[in-house]
Amino acid sequence: MNLLMLRLGPGDDLRNSLESRVAQEEIACGFVVAGIGSLVDAKLRLAGHSDATLFEGPAEILTLSGSLSENGSHLHMSISTNTGQVYGGHVAYGNEVRTTVELLVAQLPEWQLRREQDAATGYAELVAQRRAQP
């Protein structure tokens, strides 16, 4: 396992920036182990909803975790609003970093993740495969 520590800065889009870094580092199998930071606004897709919900105003990231692959990410986040209310859900695009986001990513080089359509769920679901050894 290789560990990658990342810091995103003000104005970065959390999900876009993370997915760009995965592509740049050629990470075929990775997991966000921990993530904290702050957002200008938070955008989460709540359980059972098809569209993201916008939480206006500054928010603190309490937890961030998920899987990363060359063909997509699956990220969950819990946030605290400026009134202290806590919400959680799928990380949508458009979460703009306010001051910083600090991430710890674990890369598993012997594995490859991909997403394939699953007839039972109707979603592109995770498939993990051990890479062939040379």
Q: Which class for 57: exposed (0-12), middle (13-18), buried (19 or more C-beta within 10 A)?
A: exposed
Is a pLDDT exceeding 80 seen at residue 132?
no
In the chain, domain spans? 2-130
Please state the rounded mean pLDDT for residues 2-16: 97
Cα(107)–Cα(109) distance, rounded to whole angstroms?
Answer: 6
| Among 75, 78, 80, CA closest to 90 | 75
What pLDDT is recorded for position 70? 83
Q: Can you give the pTM of this predicted structure?
A: 0.90
Reply yes or no on whether the pLDDT at 134 is more than 70.
Answer: no
- Asked if residue 115 lies in contact with residue 125, where contact means CB atoms within 8 angstroms, the answer is yes
The model's confidence at residue 72, banded by pLDDT at 50, 70 and 90, is confident
Class of domain 2-130: alpha beta
- Residue 81 confidence (pLDDT): 96
Mean pLDDT for all residues in the chain? 94
* CB neighbour list of residue 121: distance below 8 Å, 6 or more residues apart: none
CB-based contact 92:79 (threshold 8 Å): no
